[in-house]
Amino acid sequence: MAPLLEARGIRAVRLGRPVLSVEEFSLGEREFLSLVGPNGSGKTTLILSLLRLIALREGTILFRGADVRTVRPVHRYRQNFAAVFQEPLLLNTTVYNNVAEGLRIRKRGGEETEASVHRSLERFGISGLRDRNARGLSAGESQRVSLARAFAVEPEVLFLDEPFSSLDAPSKELILRDVESALGESQTAVVMATHDMAEALRLSDRIAVMGSGRILQAGPPDELMRHPADEFVASFFGYETILRGAVEEVLEGSFLVSAEGRTVEIAGSAAPGSDVTFSLSPESILISREPLERVSARNRFAARIDRIIPAGFYFKVHLNCGFPLVSYITGHSMGLLDLREGEEVHCAFKSTAVRVLQMRGLQGGGGRQ
Amino acid sequence: MDLVVQGIVRAAGLLASGDREILEITLLSLRVSGGATLISTVIGVTLGAAVALNRFPGRNIAVSLINTGMGLPPVVVGLWVTLFIWRSGPLGDLGLLYTPTAIVVAQVVIAAPIVTGISLAAMQNIPEKLRFQILSLGAGRARYLALLVREARLPLLAGVMAGFGGALSEVGASIMVGGNIRGYTRVLTTATVMETGMGNFEVAIALGFVLLVVAFIINYVLTSIQQRIRS
Amino acid sequence: MAGTVRRACAAFSAALVVTILAASLAAEERNVIFATTTSTQDTGLLDALVPIFQKKTGYFLKVIAVGSGQAMALGERGEADVLLVHSPEAEKRFMDRGFGIRRRVVMHNDFVLVGPESDPAGIRGMKSASWAFKAIAAAGVLFVGRGDNSGTDVKEKKLWRIAGVSPEGQKWYQQTGLGMGHTLRVTSEKSAYTLSDRSTYLSMKRVVDLAILVEGDPDLMNVYHVIQVNPAKWPKVNAKGAQAFADFLVSKGAQELIANFGRERFGTPLFFPNAVR
């Protein structure tokens, strides 16, 4: 099937400096694609280019297989999309008018507009703010209005540019849940820019890692994790160990996942056969020179030390126990254990220390493929 | 000093009795300066938005010209407008000199740069990202401009107020292109100058007072609108 | 995006054209531009004369009150149709160069030399205005001139010439560049001397601290002429309207009105009609 949105060899220049150079970009129907990269890596520029908000030096963008330059006037093209930016860029009028604006621009009828706005306000839990001026809202409320406005027009592609970055952790979690449920009900494809890999892993079907205006690597999260194209891409995953596997057996209160030829026990519940992407935080991994038999941790493996990297108050220890694993240990422990690269050690972590990032059931469960 | 007191007392009497000539002069002032402000608003907001939202060669020169225009001395405007609308001037056939229209034209030349300059600043202050957001909603050019104008309505209104103030209070251009003709082109400012010259201080004081009150009322109304929009 | 600029320019031009068209519809032959001296307006004479003329003829008279010099400058360019001025020598030059036709005497009054009651230069009662000027120069007391090429200004300069004094650049000599009314007020504030036409002085008398110190010198005669601008030089001039107003000024009715103007308010006429035969 032809991709929904495609770009080939697009380049953009700002103040004489190349800021974007993407050979290949594609987005499928209903796909959730994250653009991950540090500030200045070209994520926003790519989104603005796809929206035709900035001029391209060269290259082609195709929407449903047709060159978008043939779509005139340009605002007709943009009406296929909706965008939410980091700061909630709301108009100085009521919440209702903000959410209704996109529908009015698309000349939807009064009743349809009213119904869509109502639905969208409900979905983001802001019906009570309907008649308030949008400029007097909290950061979380404002971003909800911005999201409601984007969802109200039922776009073919939704662009999210760091939509959660300026929110505190609790509001972010609540909004993320609402976005997940809204996406579950809609048909829209999504392009989200973020510098937070956890966010990307939680939501994405595919991730494109960007740096210096280029897409360095794109693919499903686990593929990127396991085969990072270069160190830059790897660095985005380096701070956490991320693994993928299939559920083998369901126990009481936990389940066993086979990953990279090893079995990992994870606390929680899952359907047998589900695909699970999970991470291990480096703080929760114990290292010992002796086999760890008398600890309560359910997951115990023999491992080899690949690298030891000093990082201030602690050391990053890269282990290989059939799959790559990173552990943080303090300088004090380091002194006691006297670890060296290449040595064989034992490691362990509790089943509750495993964080499930994504789970796809065989029948329906996760749904968004 | 008693001249001042006497003047104020008689001015109050003139106003209280609803002196017809003062009333007519006031209405003419409002019509002329109001008309000039209206035209200046159309020109100023359009031009201000065009310069604020576009990049083109010579843009810095255009911005400098507009800013210079905000402080045009009315007499210089009066002189140049006169030169153009002389009977022997390039627009002489229109017979504009010494008509209320001529004053409107001159006041547009004075007020339009003021409105343009403030509109330009107002539109430039709208963050680029908000402009992207509006465009990403799929807005066409007309809707885009309308939304930007709505976003900048407070500073734009301030620009209109400043333009109206400039038009209503200038005297140099009005007297040169209007001629201060009784019952025809005599406006509050030119009448004040003339009555002062004739030693009719009470009339001059009354006219000056009306000028202040009119300016106050208009600004009060506009400010009220502004406050209501804000709340 | 440059299209917006073009569209804005178009909108600007359109607004201008609409304004101008609307205006041109209003302009027509009924308008007569009448350039005159400030003294005729400042005294209120025109407010008495003009409505009668307009009612009688249906013309709309646009009165532009400037100095005699500027009035004739307007006439020279064909920007005025008819003039009422009081600067005989300049008027002659104007006529000689063919800019005017049918110069007719309308009325006269006289100039007076006014100054502070205390009269620091001691000129009170002098029979010759030029002697008085000489005395003011000798005493170095401030004299305020108009300096605007008006009829009064020209007269004042002529008197300085007769007196053999060149006041320009002297410490005791200042010029306002303003009309007679304003100049009288400046003179009063500075306790100085000035030359004024009697009518403006009388109408300003109650608001200035100035007294008449020298009067009655034949050199102080002030004669007003009406001149029609020559339509042969400027075809756009409203010759008919100019003729009508000039005829009106020298008509019996207008002359009687002039003779009586100011009696009620000032107790003495401000102008003396000359055209009645």
B14-36 per-position pLDDT tens digit:
888 888 888 999 999 999 999 99
Any idea which of A352-366, B165-179, C162-176 has the lowest mean pLDDT?
A: A352-366
Report the distance separating Cα A38 and Cα C274, nearest Å: 97
Would you mind telling me the total number of residues written for chain A in this entry?
Answer: 369
> What is the number of alpha carbons within 13 Å of residue A233 lying toward its C-beta?
21
- pLDDT range class, residue C256, cuts 50, 70, 90: very high
Q: Tell whether A71 lies on the interface with B, counting CB pairs under 8 A.
A: no
Domain identity same for C157 and C244: no
CB contacts, 8 Å: C182 with chain B: 196-197
Looking up residue A285, the CATH number of its domain turns out to be 2.40.50.100
C88-111 per-position pLDDT tens digit:
999 999 999 999 999 999 999 899
Inter-chain touch C42–B201, beta carbons under 8 Å = no
- pLDDT over threshold 90, residue B38: yes
Q: What is the rounded average pLDDT of the residues C190-198?
A: 93
Q: What is the rounded average pLDDT of the residues B176-180?
A: 89
For residue B10, what pLDDT is reported? 80
Domain identity same for C169 and C117: yes
Q: Answer yes or no: is A33 within a domain.
A: yes
For residue A182, what pLDDT is reported? 92
Q: Tell whether A48 lies on the interface with B, counting CB pairs under 8 A.
A: yes
Domain identity same for C45 and C78: yes
- pLDDT over threshold 80, residue C11: no
C249 versus A337: the higher-pLDDT residue is: C249
> What is the number of alpha carbons within 13 Å of residue A123 lying toward its C-beta?
25
Using the 3D structure, point to which of A230, A256, A284 is the last residue of a domain: A230
Domain identity same for C231 and C102: yes
- pLDDT range class, residue C43, cuts 50, 70, 90: confident
Q: Output b/e per residue, B92-119; b: 16+ Cβ within 10 A.
A: bebbbbbbbbbbbbbbbbbbbbbbbbbb
Domain identity same for C156 and C248: no
A369 versus A95: the higher-pLDDT residue is: A95
Q: Answer yes or no: is C18 within a domain.
A: no
Domain identity same for A117 and A266: no
Inter-chain touch A106–B138, beta carbons under 8 Å = yes
Mean pLDDT of chain A: 87
Looking up residue C115, the CATH number of its domain turns out to be 3.40.190.10
Q: What single letter denotes the amino acid at residue C266?
A: F
Where do runs of H (alpha helix) occur along A67-226? Answer: 74-78, 95-105, 110-123, 139-152, 169-185, 197-203, 221-226
Taking an 8 Å Cβ-Cβ cutoff, which residues of chain B contact chain C? 3, 39, 42-43, 46-47, 49-51, 53-56, 86-88, 91-99, 101-102, 104-105, 108, 141, 179-182, 184-185, 194, 196-199, 201
- pLDDT over threshold 80, residue C275: no
Domain identity same for A197 and A302: no
ipTM of the shown complex: 0.74
- pLDDT over threshold 70, residue A239: no
Report the distance separating Cα A262 and Cα C10, nearest Å: 75
Domain identity same for A82 and A143: yes
Inter-chain touch A91–B151, beta carbons under 8 Å = yes
DSSP codes of every residue in A161-173: ESTTTTS-HHHHH
Query: How far is the alpha carbon of B221 from chain C, nearest alpha carbon, in Å?
Result: 27
Most confident region among A148-152, A269-273, C41-45, C270-274 by mean pLDDT: A148-152
Per the listing, tokens 């030390």 go with A305
B20-53 vs C2-26: helix axis angle to the nearest 10?
A: 160
Measured CA to CA in angstroms, residue C110 lies from B3, B199, C71, C131, C146 at distances of 29, 20, 20, 17, 17
- pLDDT over threshold 70, residue A25: yes
Any idea which of A151-160, A164-173, B96-105, B218-227 has the lowest mean pLDDT?
A: B218-227
Inter-chain touch B140–A101, beta carbons under 8 Å = no
Query: How far is the alpha carbon of C33 from chain B, nearest alpha carbon, in Å?
Result: 8
- pLDDT over threshold 60, residue A53: yes
Nearest to C211 by CA among C70, C114, C69: C114
Strands (E), A174-313: 189-194, 206-211, 214-219, 241-250, 254-259, 262-267, 275-280, 286-288, 299-311
CB contacts, 8 Å: A76 with chain B: 138
- pLDDT over threshold 90, residue A241: no
Q: What is the rounded average pLDDT of the residues C67-73?
A: 90
CB contacts, 8 Å: B151 with chain A: 91-92
- pLDDT range class, residue A15, cuts 50, 70, 90: confident
Q: Output b/e per residue, C209-237; b: 16+ Cβ within 10 A.
A: ebebbbbebeebebbbbbbbbbbebbeeb
Structure-token pair, residue B196? 């002062």
CB contacts, 8 Å: A105 with chain B: 137-140, 143
Mean pLDDT of chain C: 87
Chain C: partners with 3+ C-beta pairs within 8 Å: B
Nearest to A345 by CA among A279, A272, A285: A285
Which one of A14, A68, A75 would you mutate to disrupt binding with B, by most B Cβ within 10 Å of its Cβ?
A: A75
B20-53 vs B188-197: helix axis angle to the nearest 10?
A: 130
Q: What is the rounded average pLDDT of the residues A241-253?
A: 86
- pLDDT over threshold 80, residue A93: yes
Structure-token pair, residue A133? 């001026």
Q: Tell whether A14 lies on the interface with B, counting CB pairs under 8 A.
A: no
- pLDDT over threshold 70, residue A368: no
Q: How many domains does chain A have?
A: 2
Report the distance separating Cα A39 and Cα A37, nearest Å: 7
Mean pLDDT of chain B: 89
A59 versus B93: the higher-pLDDT residue is: A59
Q: Give residue A267's domain range.
A: 241-362
Domain identity same for A356 and A281: yes
Q: What is the rounded average pLDDT of the residues A195-204?
A: 85
Domain identity same for C120 and C186: yes
Structure-token pair, residue A366? 């996760």
For residue A113, what pLDDT is reported? 94
CB atoms within 10 A of CB B182: 21
Domain identity same for C144 and C69: no
Q: Tell whether A105 lies on the interface with B, counting CB pairs under 8 A.
A: yes
Query: How far is the alpha carbon of B130 from chain A, nearest alpha carbon, in Å?
Result: 6
Domain boundaries, chain B: 2-230
Report the distance separating Cα B88 and Cα B31, nearest Å: 28
Taking a C-beta distance cutoff of 8 angstroms, is the pair B106, B73 a contact? no
Taking a C-beta distance cutoff of 8 angstroms, is the pair B43, C15 a contact? yes
- pLDDT over threshold 60, residue A246: yes
Domain identity same for C167 and C268: no
- pLDDT range class, residue A330, cuts 50, 70, 90: confident
Q: Answer yes or no: is C15 within a domain.
A: no
**For residue A206, what are the β-bridge partners?**
A33
For residue C162, what pLDDT is reported? 94
Q: Answer yes or no: is A369 within a domain.
A: no
Report the distance separating Cα A40 and Cα B65, nearest Å: 36
Q: Answer yes or no: is A368 within a domain.
A: no
Report the distance separating Cα C23 and Cα C4, nearest Å: 29
- pLDDT range class, residue A194, cuts 50, 70, 90: very high
Quick check: bond before A73 cis, omega within 30? yes
- pLDDT range class, residue C1, cuts 50, 70, 90: very low
Domain identity same for A246 and A163: no
Taking a C-beta distance cutoff of 8 angstroms, is the pair C169, C26 a contact? no
Strands C100-115 and C221-229: antiparallel
Taking a C-beta distance cutoff of 8 angstroms, is the pair B111, B166 a contact? yes
CB atoms within 10 A of CB A25: 23
Q: Tell whether B59 lies on the interface with A, counting CB pairs under 8 A.
A: no
Inter-chain touch B54–C5, beta carbons under 8 Å = yes
Q: Give residue C54's domain range.
A: 29-108+223-273
A64-92 per-position pLDDT tens digit:
999 998 888 999 999 999 999 998 899 99
Query: Minimal Cα distance from A92: which residue of B?
Result: B151
DSSP codes of every residue in B162-221: HHHHHHHH--HHHHHHHTT-TTTT--HHHHHHHHHHTT-HHHHHHHHHHHHHHHHHHHHH
Report the distance separating Cα A68 and Cα A47, nearest Å: 15
Domain identity same for A264 and A352: yes
Inter-chain touch B130–A81, beta carbons under 8 Å = no
Inter-chain touch B43–C15, beta carbons under 8 Å = yes
Taking a C-beta distance cutoff of 8 angstroms, is the pair C234, C136 a contact? no
Inter-chain touch B132–A53, beta carbons under 8 Å = yes
Taking a C-beta distance cutoff of 8 angstroms, is the pair C133, C193 a contact? no
Domain identity same for C133 and C234: no
Would you mind telling me the total number of residues written for chain C in this entry?
Answer: 277
Q: Answer yes or no: is C22 within a domain.
A: no
Domain identity same for C59 and C101: yes
Q: Answer yes or no: is A315 within a domain.
A: yes
Which one of B181, B194, B195 would you mutate to disrupt binding with C, by most C Cβ within 10 Å of its Cβ?
A: B181
Q: Which CATH architecture has domain B2-230?
A: Orthogonal Bundle (1.10)
A27 versus A353: the higher-pLDDT residue is: A27
Q: Answer yes or no: is A236 within a domain.
A: no
- C-alpha radius of gyration, chain B, whole number: 20
Q: Report percent pLDDT > 90 for chain A.
A: 48
**For residue A308, what are the β-bridge partners?**
A317
Using the 3D structure, point to which of C220, C248, C265 is the last residue of a domain: C220
Report the distance separating Cα B182 and Cα A83, nearest Å: 62
- pLDDT range class, residue A9, cuts 50, 70, 90: very high
Q: What is the rounded average pLDDT of the residues A12-35?
A: 92
- pLDDT over threshold 80, residue C25: no
Which one of B39, B87, B175 would you mutate to disrupt binding with C, by most C Cβ within 10 Å of its Cβ?
A: B87
CB contacts, 8 Å: A75 with chain B: 135, 138-141, 144
Q: Report percent pLDDT > 90 for chain C.
A: 62
Q: How many domains does chain C have?
A: 2
- pLDDT over threshold 50, residue C26: no
B55-96 per-position pLDDT tens digit:
899 999 999 999 999 989 999 999 999 999 988 788 888 888
Inter-chain touch B135–A92, beta carbons under 8 Å = no
Report the distance separating Cα C153 and Cα C147, nearest Å: 6
Domain identity same for A176 and A67: yes
Domain identity same for C186 and C197: yes
Q: Answer yes or no: is C147 within a domain.
A: yes
Report the distance separating Cα C27 and Cα C238, nearest Å: 12
In three-state secondary structure terms, C234 is coil
Any idea which of A23-37, A113-127, A230-244, C72-86 has the lowest mean pLDDT?
A: A230-244
For residue C2, what pLDDT is reported? 46
Q: What is the rounded average pLDDT of the residues B126-153?
A: 92
Which one of B1, B10, B97 would you mutate to disrupt binding with C, by most C Cβ within 10 Å of its Cβ?
A: B97
**For residue C66, what are the β-bridge partners?**
none
Report the distance separating Cα A189 and Cα A209, nearest Å: 18
Domain identity same for A191 and A300: no
